[in-house]
A and B are shown apart, each in its own frame.
Chain A
Amino acid sequence: MNKLNKFLIIASASIIGLSSCTKYSDQLPTIAGIAVSNPAFSTLKGAAIQGGVAVTLSNKNPNDAGGNFTVFAPTNDAFARLGLTDAGTLGVLQNSFLTNTLLYHVSNGNLPGSSITNGGSSASALTIPRKFIFRGTDKYINGSKILATDVMASNGTVHVIDKVLLGTGVNIVASAQLLSNAQVFKSPELTFLVEAVVYSGLAPTLSDPNNNFTIYAPTDAAFKAAGFATPAAIRTLTQAQVQSILLNHAVGTGRFTSELNGTTATTAGGGTLTFGPFTNGVYTIKSNGITTPANMVIPDILCSNGVVHLIDKILLP
């Protein structure tokens, strides 16, 4: 019996030992683990799965000597600004665009919050750069406010942001065509605007790498609200009329919302735009030809020759 008792004690201790070795609280999660374990990143988790980067962000970065990534992680609220309220809604996006957009949030190596400097930039895994902007006491990457820095992972660093970073890597016209050709959303967008740009003859200007603009881009819904039933209906106006209207949507030098400086700007057409206050990452835009200002629908899309903000109204001169 003594031997038996001894055996049973050892046996039970060994089983309890199996459970005791399941405490790993001293280990850091990976970046993928952070996204999966934090409810504030549930849409990002869904995006990482659908975009095929969950396994990548579970592992060491093969493109960095230290094996690290830095990820600017959009919260659920950040995705919700784009109408992406849960993993299911990500189906409105083309998968290739989703994957590229996720990679735009990733860079090689550790970039600690302390290394972020005003006016600095950082190359993404998509190669398209991101710009750091300090505004008051807030820090931004492009137009996205950095809500928290330096969440440490075993394979890098996570900073939390309030807007999804959007970068196309191509010029303004080509970027608009990505949307109108349904290469971003599965449903075409900016089809009226692309038609207007082509018809007006402004496409060469807006695709010129030597030019740089902030473009306020009215959505298809904005054109419909203004009475255009189809993109072709724009051709009922003269080319000069369309050109004049479009030039009232362009301001010299591309700026993110976080770089809003002043309350007015002169457009490429010589008109004046009046801006509302910068609130929650957006501001309103009013032109002389409209009574209520336009709101931003999707701000801060970085193109190779400027920044595009989608708006809900045409800015008539």
Chain B
Amino acid sequence: MKSLKKTIPIFLFAFPLLSQAQMPVNGFMQGKGKGAVALSYNSESYEDVYLVPQKVNGVPVFNKVTVQSTNLFATVGLSKKLDLQVNLPYIKSTGQASDAVLNNLGYQNERKGLQDISLYFKYNPFNFKTSNGNLALMAAVGVQTPLGNYRVDESLQSILAIGNRATQINTILIANYKFNKGLFLNASGGYSARNNNVPSAILGEFKAGYAGKKVYVDAYIAGQSSSNGTDILKEGFNGVFPQTRVNYSRVGVNLYVPLKYGIGISGGYSSYIAGRNLGASSGGYGALIFSF
């Protein structure tokens, strides 16, 4: 256990907050004074859009959308039981509308900028040792708020909006069971309260993986279910995308390999398998992580 904690700096936050497809906090604590800084690059794209009642091929106006993000992430253990983490993404969203269509509508094929900064505290009050492992129960609370001045009110141009301009207060409960041999199971659920008429949502994730001395790997399914909101092109839709009811299920894998001097590399891939009012994107990331 102790050796695992030393060799496996738990980073796992090399994902764009735009899709929020993965829980923003994981089931491992840093330890007092320890932490990690990660720089990640993520690229995902979609041509299909999950609408109600069906998935449609071809993104209106833009045909295909690619979202690339660069994230700066840092986490540190303030105490044995309390972690702090911060994430700041820079996002570029690119469409493939023809020049003629852009000209007709006065649109552009790109929106980019700083998105939302997020700050989380994660608290681990309970640990239950068992004969073959340890169950950790945690609670996290975080705030995410727009830092950049990106826009969401540009009619269909805002299909390329890099965020939803809501401030969110996210509360997450986490149960993480780690077997002594390195396998772990993680379940988390939470509630994301959002302002600016963006529907609040329930978040959930189930993850299974292996955290060994030389490698970390996991696979997960994550989901969001919004409490209300309109459907795109359905009754009540007023052309404002952040007000739509966004649900999804996404599956993915993460891999981390520690190298030397606290430096490690990470990569992963994930894809939506179901959704409502969002692009059916798939994509991967790579990250460079420095642990201390």
Contacts and interface: CB of A to CB of B under 8 A. Distances in A.
- Best-buried of B98, B103, B225 by chain A (most CB within 10 Å): B225
Contacts of A49: 60-61, 105, 156
Interface in B199-256: 202, 204-206, 221-225, 232-239, 247-249
| Size category of the binding interface on chain A | 35 or more
Given A24-B53, A33-B51, A15 B60 contact: no
Interface in A241-256: none
Contacts of A45: 60
A27 interface: yes
A46 interface: yes
A50 B188 CA distance: 44
A19 B56 CA distance: 17
- Best-buried of B99, B100, B175 by chain A (most CB within 10 Å): B100
Interface stretch (A54-62, A109-117, A131-139, A264-272): A54-62
A29 B223 CA distance: 24
Nearest to A31: B233
Given A24-B53, A28-B53, A50-B104, A19 B273 contact: yes
B194 interface: no
Contacts of B101: 46, 87-88
Given A27-B52, A28-B53, A55-B239, A22 B175 contact: no
B130 interface: yes
A12 B52 contact: no
Contacts of B135: 4
A32 B233 contact: yes
A11 B56 contact: no
Contact of A11 (B206, B239, B247): B206
A295 interface: no
Nearest to B135: A4
Given A11-B187, A36-B233, A155-B235, A22 B206 contact: no
Interface string B144-167: 000000000000100000000000
B225 A12 contact: no
Contacts, number: 134
B191 to A, nearest CB: 13
B82 to A, nearest CB: 23
A8 B206 CA distance: 8
A50 B50 contact: no
Nearest to B223: A18
Nearest to B131: A1
Given A16-B249, A58-B235, A37 B104 contact: no
B130 to A, nearest CB: 7
A36 B234 contact: no
Interface string A58-76: 1110000000000000000
A25 interface: yes
A155 B53 CA distance: 14
| Size category of the binding interface on chain B | 35 or more
B235 A4 contact: no
Contacts of A55: 237-239
A30 interface: yes
A89 B100 contact: yes
A266 to B, nearest CB: 44
Given A14-B189, A15-B221, A18-B249, A36 B56 contact: yes
A284 interface: no
A122 interface: no
A27 B292 CA distance: 53
Contacts of A60: 235
Interface string A1-17: 10010011001101110
A36 B156 CA distance: 13
Nearest to B189: A11
A19 B223 contact: yes
B122 interface: no
A45 B189 CA distance: 39
Contact of B205 (A15, A20, A36, A39): A15
Interface of A: 1, 4, 7-8, 11-12, 14-16, 18-30, 32-33, 36-37, 39, 42, 45-46, 49-50, 54-55, 58-60, 86-91, 154-155
Given A11-B175, A15-B221, A154-B235, 11 more contacts: A7-B175, A11-B206, A15-B223, A21-B225, A22-B274, A27-B52, A30-B233, A37-B51, A45-B60, A55-B238, A86-B98
